[in-house]
Amino acid sequence: MSELSVKHLLGIKYLNESDIQLIFETADHFKEVINRSIKKVPSLRDITIANIFFENSTRTKLSFELAEKRLSADVLNFSASQSSVKKGETLIDTVNNILSMKVDMVVMRHPNPGAGIFLSKHVKASIVNAGDGAHEHPTQALLDSYSIREKLGDVAGKNVVIVGDILHSRVALSNIFALKLQGANVKVCGPKTLLPKYIESLGVGVETNLRKALDWCDVANMLRIQNERLDISYFPTTREYTQQFGVNKKLLDSLDKEIVIMHPGPINRGVEITSDVADSKQSIILNQVENGVAIRMAVIYLLASKIK
Ligand code: CP
């Protein structure tokens, strides 16, 4: 297969296993490119991409922008907080105004779940979801699986536990879809209040004892406690959460195998993981960020080939 089955990247839910393998093979090529002395290719010289962010971002925004520039696309950056959205302009009007400047692709982060799906039905450009509320964050899940593949050789058959606030996490949902598609065994672990009731219907196991989860896994993906999405108290105190669900070096070293530690960032150091875990040789957190550029180059390149 040499092309994606989709025109937009709205969620991992809409991809198949062949799409993921194609993205990974394309990312392998781009990873080699960005490690050369000349890190740029002319592939998308005729493509214009708008990055529109209605929520804060460091990694995703910079990674998309760099990926687009490495592919020689023309890039527009739009931040809602400095725009006419503040004067009441709607999402569709905002995007249609941007598109009238002959933009081919829109990369969007938005606080509302389904914002990218909504947009894809109302505008002509190809839409890439860079995180929509607590729904999906597809490029994060792709770079996470790609990093597991790079570290452990394969994703199929690996035991992966996702720890923390599963209820509010777009990273968790996209990772579950991506890992299951590739044949990984997946568990979620966290306080019962932060584990959605439907989660087992997605084919994942549930564990509320962190020690047992870590004994089982090859990879632990530690999620951030998203204080900005916690409308009520889901656990007594942050200190108590850390005692039950935080990974420190003593716990990591007490396991009888070397597990891989992942985190999508931003890290709350000392809450979900301690600094000596985040910075340990078992952590691939910065490899995830590095791989994000190659994965996003692959996604943009493959989607652009469908609009040419
Ligand atoms: N992982 C991630 O989405 O980070 P940002 O919010 O900084 O983009």
Strands annotated E in the chain:
48-53, 74-79, 105-110, 126-132, 159-163, 185-189, 205-207, 219-222, 260-262
Closest-CA residue, ligand 1 atom 6, reads: 57
Distance 297 CA to ligand 1 centre (A): 17
- Domain 138-284: CATH superfamily is Aspartate/ornithine carbamoyltransferase (3.40.50.1370)
When pLDDT is cut at 50, 70 and 90, the band that residue 307 belongs to is: confident
pLDDT one-digit tens code per residue, 51-94: 999 999 999 999 999 999 999 999 999 988 888 888 999 999 99
Query: Which of the listed residues 54, 60, 272 should we mutate to test ligand 1's pocket, taking the one with most ligand atoms within 8 A of CB?
Result: 60
The answer to which of 89-93, 218-222, 289-293 has the lowest mean pLDDT is 89-93
* 103/98 Cα distance (integer angstroms): 7
Q: Please name which of 43, 8, 6, 295 lies closest in space to residue 125, comparing C-alpha atoms.
A: 8
* 130/138 Cα distance (integer angstroms): 7
Which pLDDT belongs to residue 125? 94
How is the chain split into domains, by residue range?
Answer: 12-136+289-304, 138-284
Q: How far is CA 107 from CA 48, 175, 263, in A?
A: 11, 19, 22
Q: Please name which of 73, 199, 80 lies closest in space to residue 130, comparing C-alpha atoms.
A: 80
Q: How far is Cα of residue 17 from the mean position of the Cα atoms in its chain? A: 17
pLDDT one-digit tens code per residue, 175-197: 999 999 999 999 999 999 999 99
Residue 104 one-letter amino acid: D
The reply, when asked if residue 60 is annotated as ligand binding, is yes
* 144/255 Cα distance (integer angstroms): 23
Pocket residues for ligand 1 (CB within 6 Å)? 57-60, 131, 140, 264-266
Contact predicate 185/219, CB 8 Å: no
Q: Which residues pair with 161 in a beta bridge?
A: 187, 220
When pLDDT is cut at 50, 70 and 90, the band that residue 131 belongs to is: very high
Which pLDDT belongs to residue 227? 73
Give me 128's structure tokens: 């890439």
Give me 174's structure tokens: 């996209």
Question: Residue 111 above 70 pLDDT?
Answer: yes
Which pLDDT belongs to residue 229? 65
When pLDDT is cut at 50, 70 and 90, the band that residue 1 belongs to is: low
Q: Tell me the CATH architecture of domain 12-136+289-304.
A: 3-Layer(aba) Sandwich (3.40)
When pLDDT is cut at 50, 70 and 90, the band that residue 2 belongs to is: confident
